[in-house]
Amino acid sequence: MAKIKSLSEFGLIDRVSKKFNHRLRNTVLPLGDDCAAYSATSSKTQLVSTDALVENIHFKLSTISPQQLGQKAIAVNISDIAAMGGIPTRVLITLGIPKKISSSFLDQLYAGIHKTCKLYNIELFGGDTVSSPKCFFINITIIGEAEQGNIFTRDGAKKGDLIFTTGTLGDSSLGLKMLSKEKWECSSNSRKHLLKKHLTPIPRIKESRLLKKFGSRVTSMIDISDGLVQDLHHICKQSKTGATIYEENLPLSPAFSKFCSDNNLSPLPYILNGGEDYELLFTLSPDGVNNLIRQFKKAEALVTQIGEITQPSKKVSLLKKNGKREMLPQSSGFNHF
Ligand SMILES: [Mg+2]
């Protein structure tokens, strides 16, 4: 198998630019020069975010295919743009490549990147390729846009607002758990569902577009990457509020519930702190609820009220099925350091 050395950095850039020939209308200069250039319009707010995935921290090459890794790396970045109510437009990609990586690995990685970029009409706009001593890493900078001044932030939740999430929670972290051991009691359909949620998450762009119709009734939003509790704390901290989550409302997939009961796992840690759900967590003023339920039903998109914003204690608690209340400290989610 061809090692990356025989390809050279510029050979790789050539190969990639040939494949990624999609250009957006306002591109002035595509990738290939010292900078790429585009003209931003004054009617739009530009959004920028960056996210790195590092081998053995975020993924293991033994459990994710290069194509899946390419898809996921773009998807998790799109998720951040969705959380702001924007549309993704461009990405810049930096790869750190150790000697063990072959050129066919990179071809497959770029095939995954290409597939996701094409699906969301995203232009590859630049990046860098460097050697890395041991581990492979991929860093993506994503650019997106929203109507001028019309973005969702984390700081607008108010007491009495209702807390919603899209999709179901915990599937991705169970998918990750499944990868750590061979022998789990699990049907092949459930296995497929949980692994898919972990390996190739779908960014909630459709749902984010729906929520734009609600304007300022959506008072705050974040995507769940570090886990429900940790990300809800981000909203509470920036909005200076507290929050209560209702255990009995938490949306779970049939695959998740069955896997937990068949394998004697307590579901709550995965739901609350599992992370990498890439669902949208948002707060809504109560007068928007009926319309929200209607619109999501019409669009066949899942949305569930999971709690309520409370007075400014900055504390988050769980109202359990048995009526007892449990405090949920911020430290319980994923932390890199
Ligand atoms: Mg985020």
Q: How far is the CA of 139 from the centre of ligand 1 (A)?
A: 15
Residues 41 and 137 in one domain: yes
Structural domain includes residue 154: no
Separation of 279 CA from ligand 1 center, angstroms?
10
Q: Are residues 211 and 303 in the same domain?
A: yes
Do 94 and 167 lie in a common domain? no
Ranking 11-20, 35-44, 196-205, 228-237 by mean pLDDT, the lowest is: 11-20
- The yes-or-no verdict on residue 184 having pLDDT over 90 is no
Write down the pLDDT at residue 7. 65
pLDDT, mean of residues 117-132: 95
Does residue 219 share a domain with residue 89? no
Provide φ and ψ at 126, rounded to 5°: 145, -170
Q: Select from 93, 116, 147 the last residue of a domain.
A: 147
The verdict on residue 131 lying in a domain is: yes
Residues 181 and 326 in one domain: yes
Asked whether the predicted pLDDT for residue 1 surpasses 50, the reply is: no
Give the Å distance between the CA of 280 and the centre of ligand 1. Answer: 9
- H-run or E-run covering 297: helix 289-298
Residue 325 lies in a domain: yes
* Rounded CA separation 162/287 (Å): 10
Q: Where are the alpha helices (DSSP H) in 180-288?
A: 188-199, 205-212, 228-239, 254-262, 268-273
* Percent of residues, the chain, with pLDDT higher than 70: 95
Evaluate if residue 332 carries a pLDDT over 80.
Answer: no
203: nearest Cα among 124, 278, 145, 151: 278
Domain boundary among the residues 106, 122, 147 is at 147
Range of the domain at 37: 4-147
Distance in angstroms between the alpha carbons of the first and the last residue of the chain: 37
Tell me: pLDDT of 58 over 70. yes
Cα–Cα distances (Å) from 310 to 159, 160, 248, in that order, read: 5, 6, 18
Residues 170 and 270 in one domain: yes
Paired with 164 in beta bridges are 282, 305
* CA of 83 relative to ligand 1 center, distance in Å: 7
Ligand 1 center from residue 240 Cα (angstroms):
19
- What's the 276 CA to ligand 1 centre distance in angstroms? 10
Residues 226 and 274 in one domain: yes
pLDDT digits 0-9 by tens, 281-292: 999 999 999 999
| Rounded average pLDDT over 231-235 | 96
What CATH number is attached to the domain comprising 310?
A: 3.90.650.10
Mark whether 125 and 186 lie in a shared domain: no
Is 43's pLDDT higher than 70?
yes
> Quick one: average pLDDT of 274-284?
96
119 in the same domain as 18? yes
Q: Is residue 87 part of a domain?
A: yes
Fill in the DSSP letter of residue 101: -
Distance 76 CA to ligand 1 centre (A): 8
Residue 141 C-alpha to ligand 1 middle, in angstroms?
Answer: 13
Residues within 5 A (CB) of ion ligand 1: 80, 223
Give residue 148's Cα distance to chain centre. 24
Q: How many A from CA of 32 to the centre of ligand 1?
A: 29
Average pLDDT over residues 2-9: 63
Task: Say how many domains are in the chain.
Answer: 2
Using the mean position of ligand 1's atoms as its centre, give its distance from the Cα of residue 272 in Å.
16
**Cα of 225 to ligand 1 centre, how many Å?**
6
Does position 12 have pLDDT exceeding 80, yes or no? no
CA of 2 to the centre of ligand 1 (A): 37
> Band of the pLDDT at 333, cuts 50, 70, 90?
low
In a domain, 111, yes or no: yes
Cα–Cα distance measured from residue 246 to residue 210, given in angstroms and rounded to the nearest whole number: 24
Q: Both 167 and 310 in a single domain?
A: yes
Q: Residue 128 pLDDT more than 80?
A: yes
> Which of 116, 147, 178 is the endpoint of a domain?
147
Instruction: Report CA(16)–ligand 1 centroid distance (Å).
Output: 28
Same structural domain, 219 and 79: no
Tell me which of 210 and 16 has the higher pLDDT. Answer: 210
CATH number of the domain that 87 lies in? 3.30.1330.10
- Taking the centre of ligand 1 as the mean of its atom positions, its distance from the CA of residue 178, in whole angstroms, is 25
For residue 18, the CA-to-ligand 1 centroid distance in Å is 31
Q: How far is the CA of 74 from the centre of ligand 1 (A)?
A: 13
pLDDT in the model for residue 2: 53
Interval between CA 31 and ligand 1 midpoint (Å)? 26
pLDDT of residue 335: 57
In a domain, 155, yes or no: no
Q: Does residue 157 form part of some domain?
A: no
* 156 domain residue, yes or no: no
* Cα 224 to ligand 1 centre (Å): 7
Percent of the chain residues topping a pLDDT of 90: 82
Whether 199 shows a pLDDT value over 50: the answer reads yes
Least confident of 225-234, 257-266, 271-280, 308-317: 308-317
Q: Do residues 32 and 136 share a domain? A: yes
